Amino acid sequence: MKTFWAMLAGTVWLHAAFGEGIVTSAPPAQLVFVPHPSAWSVIKHPTLPALYLGCHATATNRNLITYRLNADGSLISESQRISDNYFIASTNAEFQYRIYRPSVDPGRNILYVIAGADSPATSFTNASNNEIVALALDEQGQPAKVLKAFRTDQTGTQYLVGVRCDPATRRLYLTYSTYLGWCGLSDDGLPVSAKCNLINYTLTSWYWDYVPEWERFYAIYSGLSLRIFKLASDGVNVEFLQGSGVCYGDSGCIQVGHKFRKLYNLDLSQGARLVVCMLTKEGNLTSVPRHIPLPDVVGIRCDFTANKLYAWTRDTVWKTWTLDADGYPRGEPQVTALGCGEIKDVFVDEQTGKVYVACTQAPTAAQ
């Protein structure tokens, strides 16, 4: 009986502290915490049991950390491996940078990593700094050697904030502070030249998603509007372009669910609200968006296989909704107070259902 009342008292306290429905005593089982005081980004290898944590401002600028995973996708903590500093020349060791979310080519087993300058105004122009590195991975997905470390012809005018490999088109998409472009890749996955082909109509598109079934890019333009486009055969001009002047915010949470024919994003410009846009069978906008208030939420992710919407607050309260048959969040969320410092990035692996949370400290909630 004493244990029961202690649990009840804890639940009541959490309810009062966060002002909403019951806060559970333990986080959802699918959450996998990846704590590090300098955490910045996280991604899993698509086919191998490997996880990559990007950091910023570590003591030695060795900002890429890798982990091995168990068969169920859980973290093998003792497998932590801190990679070398692939980016900074010895003459410029004071340069601080952060690792934005890397990208994996599973067929060639290459990890593409970029260094984003912490102080871009003074640092990214230094020609002695590598900005992009292609790493060969071993059979467990761990970095084995550097295949190529390079910069593009945009060096000195732009700084990098994103990278994504598309093996089908042999393009390495690079998101710069003002431009979105790509480098062509050879059969072995290395750049054919230093030229970055800049895509028209994509100024300041930091956050975007791509659906290969529709050959459509979904980009947040200057943090204020949505642009949907299909590239022409030259990869620079656009064959199709559709825009929306509705404010979508600059949260970096845009996702497109081909299964539900919906676009999801978090709009922080008018208080936190989920923006859901209906799409046609070709992937184009078909009506005005639907807005769903999400009080205090600062980030969202979707698992379209498990029909889940995940959200978190600045105070690391975690919320989980089930998506209904139409792709909308249904009913009240499951709510958990994690106590994990600050959540920097979240990656959902739909194959295993695991949700990897890059956070600044280990959670204090019951495990």
Tens of pLDDT, residue by residue over 212-254, are 999 999 998 876 788 999 999 999 999 999 988 776 667 789 9
The reported pLDDT for the residue numbered 159 is 84
Q: 153 in a domain, yes or no?
A: yes
Q: 298 in a domain, yes or no?
A: no
How far apart (Å, rounded) are the C-alpha atoms in residues 155 and 176? 10
Lowest pLDDT segment from 4-13, 61-70, 96-105, 277-286: 4-13
Helix or strand (DSSP H, E) at 264 = strand 262-267
Side-chain-side CA neighbours of residue 112 (13 Å): 25
Q: 338 in a domain, yes or no?
A: no
The reported pLDDT for the residue numbered 4 is 33
How far apart (Å, rounded) are the C-alpha atoms in residues 244 and 288? 9
Number of domains making up the chain: 1
Q: 292 in a domain, yes or no?
A: no
How far apart (Å, rounded) are the C-alpha atoms in residues 214 and 281? 9
Side-chain-side CA neighbours of residue 267 (13 Å): 21
In this model, does residue 318 exceed pLDDT 70?
yes
Side-chain-side CA neighbours of residue 199 (13 Å): 30
- Using an 8 Å Cβ cutoff, are 353 and 306 in contact? yes
Q: 258 in a domain, yes or no?
A: no
In this model, does residue 26 exceed pLDDT 90?
no
The domain in which residue 128 lies consists of 38-198
How far apart (Å, rounded) are the C-alpha atoms in residues 197 and 172? 10
Q: Identify which has the larger pLDDT, 249 or 206.
A: 206
Q: 330 in a domain, yes or no?
A: no
The reported pLDDT for the residue numbered 126 is 64
The reported pLDDT for the residue numbered 90 is 55
* Helices H / strands E in the chain, number of each: 2, 29
Give tens-digit pLDDT for 121-132. 555 666 667 889
Q: 65 in a domain, yes or no?
A: yes
- Using an 8 Å Cβ cutoff, are 329 and 322 in contact? yes
The reported pLDDT for the residue numbered 251 is 78
Q: Which pLDDT band holds residue 9 (cuts at 50, 70, 90)?
A: very low
- Using an 8 Å Cβ cutoff, are 82 and 62 in contact? yes
| Count of other CB atoms within 10 angstroms of residue 119 | 11
Q: 140 in a domain, yes or no?
A: yes
Q: List the CATH number of the domain containing 154.
A: 2.130.10.10
